[in-house]
Amino acid sequence: MTRPDHQRFWSPVVHELSPYVPGEQPQIEGLIKLNTNEHPLGPSPRVLEAIRRETGESLRLYPDPQALALKRALAGLHGLAPDQIFVGNGSDEVLAHAFLGLFGHGRPVLFPDITYSFYPVYCGLYRIAHERVPLDADFSVRIDDFRRPNGGIVIANPNAPTGRLLPLSAIERLLQANPDSVVLIDEAYIDFGGESAVSLIARFPQLLVVRTFSKSRALAGLRVGYAMGQAGLIEALERVKDSFNSYPLDRIAIAAATASVEDSAWFAQSCAAVIAEREAMSERLRARGFQVLPSGANFVFARHPGHAGAALQRALRERKVLVRHFSASRIADFLRITVGTTEQGRMLDEALADILG
């Protein structure tokens, strides 16, 4: 195939990339946005106050390259030391640094065949061999399938886009079976009903836990993520970061994220509200004839036996409701539906009633 002339300037790796495709961020007014797993409630009022305080003359100064105030707050929250915390510009950047800094050993990195679709993108970007491990027929992770030679393991828990949750005992078995390679647990959604693997860090030097402020803390617009592990793993991430961007978090992001960590009451209440609405939405979907997978996240993964997933997505969009559809063969009839407000849930149900007749 003949390439456009401008592509002759590209590096070889760019020609081979299959970039990640984010969910639609619509420019149309009035759409009900249930496609990118954003929090239905706003951030803590203390976050907004911290942002207001930070928007002043100090913006002419660089931020703290170590974001120590945020690291100390996170260390206190999780019972760790600050040198066991790494912070970055969203968990996507944190994951990218982890792939580059911890997985380039020549052996394939393992992750499920249905999971966060950025993982194979990182492997392509950094020329890391990888293998996709099939999920079970019910879309659950089989720990025993990861008992094989590897250069690292990545598990999203809860998994995305399925929402299925592994118990902490399964993560512990995974770590026991893989003592000589890094096991990365991506906990973007863990606050919506799961048990974090952070408690295992002291016992397993190969464990890296990655979190985001975008989901349970409603700060997707600020781009703050972090990783936790023993100091040796964190040092690798710091070395990569300081070879790429010494200031990944700006002053506003550091102040806002720190305030979010400090407002534990808002955090607990908002997570409980999302969990309650998730269960209510799941029941409404089942009443409409959907199969709904058990979810530990702020979304559900569901399919209707009488309707193709892509057609349902289109029909919902025509009624101003956005949901996410994935074309991969095993999940082509499923829709990933973000938990919204109670009112958004009602409007979704009315749209489905109209579509399903």
- As its CATH architecture, domain 53-263 has 3-Layer(aba) Sandwich (3.40)
Q: What is the average per-residue pLDDT within 70-82? A: 98
- Judge whether residue 352 has pLDDT over 80: yes
* 3-class state of residue 186 by DSSP: strand
Cβ atoms 218, 225 nearer than 8 A: no
User: Boundaries of CATH 3.90.1150.10 in the chain?
Assistant: 5-42+265-356
Predicted local distance difference test score (pLDDT) of residue 43: 95
Bridge partners (DSSP) of residue 156 are: 186
Q: Please state, for a pLDDT cut of 70, what percent of the chain lies above it.
A: 99
Cβ atoms 97, 88 nearer than 8 A: yes
Q: How far is CA 156 from CA 104, 189, 239, 352, in A?
A: 20, 9, 24, 30
- Judge whether residue 29 has pLDDT over 80: no
- For the segment 114-156, what is each residue's pLDDT rounded down to a tens digit? 999 999 999 999 999 999 999 999 999 999 999 999 999 999 9
Is the alpha carbon torsion for 51, 54, 59, 63 positive or negative? Answer: negative
**Range name among 7-21, 92-106, 220-234, 283-297 with the lowest pLDDT average:** 7-21
Predicted local distance difference test score (pLDDT) of residue 20: 73
- Judge whether residue 7 has pLDDT over 80: yes
Q: What is the average per-residue pLDDT within 339-353? A: 96
Mean of pLDDT over the chain: 95
Q: What is the DSSP string of 255-322?
A: HHHHHHHH-HHHHHHHHHHHHHHHHHHHHHHHHTT-EE---SSSEEEEEBTTB-HHHHHHHHHHTTEE
Task: Report the C-alpha dihedral over residues 71, 75, 81, 84, rounded to 10 degrees.
Answer: -60
Whose structure tokens read 């070395």?
Answer: 239
- For the segment 206-263, what is each residue's pLDDT rounded down to a tens digit? 999 999 999 999 999 999 999 999 999 999 999 999 999 999 999 999 999 999 999 9
Count CB-CB contacts under 10 A for residue 331.
Answer: 20
- Burial code (b: 16+ CB inside 10 Å, e: under 16) for 108-142 equals bbbbbebbbebbbbbbebeebebeebebeeebbbe
Cβ atoms 356, 60 nearer than 8 A: no
Structure tokens at 306: 């009488």
User: Boundaries of CATH 3.40.640.10 in the chain?
Assistant: 53-263
Cα separation, 200 vs 196, in Å, equals 9
Structure tokens at 291: 């199969």
Cα separation, 270 vs 192, in Å, equals 10
* 3-class state of residue 136 by DSSP: coil
Class of domain 5-42+265-356: alpha beta
Predicted local distance difference test score (pLDDT) of residue 150: 97
**Range name among 19-23, 46-50, 80-84, 207-211 with the lowest pLDDT average:** 19-23
- Judge whether residue 4 has pLDDT over 90: no
Between residues 2 and 106, the one the model is more confident about = 106
Predicted local distance difference test score (pLDDT) of residue 10: 84
- For the segment 185-195, what is each residue's pLDDT rounded down to a tens digit? 999 999 999 99
Query: Among candidates 322, 309, 310, which has minimal Cα distance to 348?
Result: 322
Question: How would residue 1 be classed by pLDDT, with cut points 50, 70 and 90?
Answer: low
- Burial-class residue 37 by CB neighbours within 10 Å (0-12, 13-18, 19+): buried
- Judge whether residue 357 has pLDDT over 80: yes
The H-assigned helical ranges of the chain are 12-16, 45-54, 68-78, 90-102, 118-126, 168-177, 231-241, 251-262, 264-287, 309-318, 342-356
